[in-house]
Amino acid sequence: MSQPLAPPRLRFRLPQWSIAARSALIAGTVVFVAFTLTGAALTGVFYRSLIAGVDAAAAARVRDVSAGLIEDAPADLDDPLLATDQRIDAVQVIAPDGKVLRRSDSVSDTPLVPLNEVSADLRTGMAPTSSADGDMRISAQSITTPKGSFIVVVAGGDDAAESTVRTAVILLLLAAPVVVAVAAGATYRLVRRSLRSVDAMRARVAAISSADLAERVPVPAGRDEVSALAVTMNHMLDRIEAGHVAQRQFVGDASHELRSPLTAIISALDVAVAHPELLDVDLAKDTLVPEAQRMRALVEDLLLLARADERGLTFHREPTRLDEIATGEVIRLRRNCRHPVHITAEPVEVNGDAAALSRVVRNLLDNAARHATSQIEVEVRSGEGAAILTVADDGPGIPAADRHRVFDRFVRLDSSRSRGGGGSGLGLSIVAEIVAAHDGQITITGRPGGGTLVTVQLPAATTPDSNR
């Protein structure tokens, strides 16, 4: 037997209004609730204040009548002491046996309150005995005078207080819609005005395409959150444009670099196709293999830089002797370099990837070999918790203004750094990426006596024993 379907649950949902309309609705609701609670609280305080005034007037009349009874008998009391007004509804002077000796014209000769509840202490806010006497608030006190003992009862009327409070409530009810409407309207206009700037920014962003990233969103006047959003978006667009320009330049430079070895290989193959007798070991050894190796190295460099841009370089780190790496690379360079290479190395250990650090030293040495005039100097030492590697050459040096730019990709400062010299403009970029991945720093300064001095600082591990 199938189960009966449960009735659908109704959920309250705000209509699909604009932000300005919803803000106006919320503001109007909040103002209405606040106005209602505040009005109720103020009305209660106002009513209590008026009732306190009635009780104070009745108590004052009790004291006045009591003072008159000290001097005169009840029959001789002045008529103004028994008169009524907006606050005083009735006055009675009662004997201890319950007989009303004097009273106002508007009250009966029956005591307004039970006499056993009256004492020598003045009491205020007492309820009348009979419900026919309405909502009177009675003040009473028993006194003893040379003329005898008496009970003075004064009734204050709260009709005027209730009428005043009723009028205040009506005025608040009439003012509530006006206040709510004004608050909602002001909120709507304010939010709508603020959102105009957001709409302008949205329209400008929608019009920006990858073909033209030079456009920027308008920044409204003032220093509010909307203007801060516009400034932040412009900074973001600056970064996107810079990245887009760098990417296009990177692709163009990479294509240009790859075209050179490909052109050489294709030209050699075209010659071999036209003249098969020329396709021999010498052509492969002198042209095809070197250009293919050059292209492979360039592709590997490009892949490494692309990986660094995508998610950063990560290496498997283990204790590695930096002095041994530098010594091995110096030995390799001496076999092919026409200049003497001097090295001074003390045992220094770092936590890093041996292959990546070897690439750092190799690139720095190859760069120094291309620009040295007569010698290359290498030093490995430790200092202040760091492993320090320096590579110096006595070449033309690098101007101070270009010492940071040389770490950019495909940068060649002069004709000596040409492709004919074997450089692709990626060596120092790769060095900078690997050093940064090892939490190190690399700087370029001038060598004393002329030339270039490259300094690499890496966090040192425990210093190995010198006899290791």
pLDDT of 102 > 60? The answer is yes
Taking residues 132-152, what's their average pLDDT?
84
Q: What pLDDT sits at residue 15?
A: 58
Q: Predicted confidence band at 129 (pLDDT cuts at 50, 70, 90)?
A: confident
- What is the 3-class SS of 97-147, one letter each residue? CCCEEEECCCCCCCCCCCHHHCCCCCEEEECCCCHHHCCEEEEEEEEEECC
- Contact criterion met (CB below 8 Å) for 325 and 403: no
Query: DSSP label at 7?
Result: P
Whole-number Cα distances in Å, 298 to 181, 243, 286, 305, 425:
71, 22, 19, 11, 10
Among the ranges given (38-47, 153-162, 421-430), the one the predictor scored with the smallest mean pLDDT: 421-430
Taking residues 231-258, what's their average pLDDT?
77
Query: Which domains occur in the chain, in start order?
Result: 21-162 (3.30.450), 225-310 (1.10.287), 314-459 (3.30.565.10)
Q: What pLDDT sits at residue 253?
A: 65
Distance separating alpha carbons of residues 42 and 169, to the nearest angstrom: 10
- Contact criterion met (CB below 8 Å) for 457 and 386: yes
What percentage of residues in the chain have a pLDDT greater than 70? 86
What is the helix (H) or strand (E) element at residue 323, kind and residue range?
Answer: helix 322-334
The most confident of the ranges 224-238, 266-280, 411-425 is 224-238
Distance separating alpha carbons of residues 223 and 219, to the nearest angstrom: 10
pLDDT of 108 > 70? The answer is yes
Q: Is 255 exposed, middle or buried (0-12, 13-18, 19+ CB in 10 A)?
A: exposed
Phi, psi of 412 (to 5 degrees): -130, 125
The residue among 211 and 57 whose pLDDT is bigger is 57
Taking residues 348-375, what's their average pLDDT?
90
Report the chain's mean pLDDT, rounded to a whole number. Answer: 82
Residue count of the chain: 468
The residue among 269 and 3 whose pLDDT is bigger is 269
Contact residues for 354 (Cβ-Cβ < 8 A; gap 6+) = 318, 320, 325
Distance separating alpha carbons of residues 16 and 32, to the nearest angstrom: 22
pLDDT of 411 > 80? The answer is no
Q: Predicted confidence band at 182 (pLDDT cuts at 50, 70, 90)?
A: very high
Among the ranges given (159-163, 327-331, 451-455), the one the predictor scored with the smallest mean pLDDT: 159-163
Taking residues 207-211, what's their average pLDDT?
71
Q: What pLDDT sits at residue 418?
A: 43
Question: pLDDT tens, 274-312?
Answer: 877 777 777 777 777 877 877 776 777 777 777 766 666
Angle between helices 427-437 and 289-311 (to 10 degrees): 40
